Amino acid sequence: MFFQKGTQTLEIDMTRIPNHIAIIMDGNGRWAKKRSLPRKAGHKAGAEALERIIDDCRALGVKHLTVYAFSTENWKRSQEEVDAIMDLLRQYLKTYFRRFMKDNVKMNVIGEISRLDGDIQEQIREIEKLSKDKDGLFVHIALNYGGRDELCRAVQKLAVQIEKGALDSETITEDTIESFLDTAGTPDPELVIRTSGEERISNFLLWQIAYSEFYFTDTLWPDFNRQSLEEAIYSYQNRERRFGGR
């Protein structure tokens, strides 16, 4: 498939589309600020960008999309902003979900959802249940997610198994640890994208990104579109992945 970047025509190899793309959707606040709008308007535009990118990932044949929507650190923001994000989330889960179901999209949430309001937890459980047999794009939404928090919770679950005698500490392997993570069963992302010009991980998927390729772009998340996604995939396809070999 060809796409245009400025005056160049570039080609994406459709047989080598990453199976799993993870995105740190950053820059909603700056997008709003540039337009003298409240931060909330940036988050709303961000939610709309996500809706479009889900369609683009389906069209390109991506199998897993993990998006960082709210981190364990994002509670530090003003109550007003946190409330606005949670309200948008409620709306998002309600309206978009109906549409995605029809498109064969499967959804789950990674992160510690018990800190979210009860009605949101209920919505999440409902969506996970209703979409569990879908076999199109699998969208993983990271909510109240932190990579360190996920590892802590995994160690707690593992310790319980040892205490019960169901697991022997000597037999713990990387696969054992993986099986206790929120992402158990999901292949690691080949490509991690962060928008808005920041070049850091901010506690996203610490275990899973051991060998991922990173793509940073100055584009603010609400402006990220099909063209931006194709540029990221193009960049990924033109790298040499070595995995420690030669």
Which residues are catalytic, by number? 26, 74
Contact of residue 143 among ligand IPE, Mg ion, none (CB under 5-8 Å per partner type) = none
Q: Judged by CB under 6 A, which of 18, 27, 111, 146 binds ligand IPE?
A: 27
Q: Judged by CB under 6 A, which of 12, 44, 71, 89 binds ligand IPE?
A: 71
Q: Judged by CB under 6 A, which of 24, 141, 154, 205 binds ligand IPE?
A: 24
Q: How far is the CB of 61 from ligand IPE (least distance, A)?
A: 25
- Give the other-Cβ count within 10 Å of 60's Cβ: 18
Interaction residues for ligand IPE, span 79-98 (CB under 6 A):
85
Q: Judged by CB under 5 A, which of 26, 182, 213, 230 binds Mg ion?
A: 26
Q: Is 74 an interacting residue with respect to ligand IPE (CB under 6 A)?
A: yes
CB 62 within 8 A of CB 233: no
Q: Which is nearer to Mg ion, 68 or 236 (CB)?
A: 68
Q: Judged by CB under 6 A, which of 18, 29, 147, 189 binds ligand IPE?
A: 29
Q: Which is nearer to ligand IPE, 17 or 189 (CB)?
A: 189
Q: How far is the CB of 39 from Mg ion (least distance, A)?
A: 10
Residue type, 26: D
Q: How far is the CB of 194 from ligand IPE (least distance, A)?
A: 8
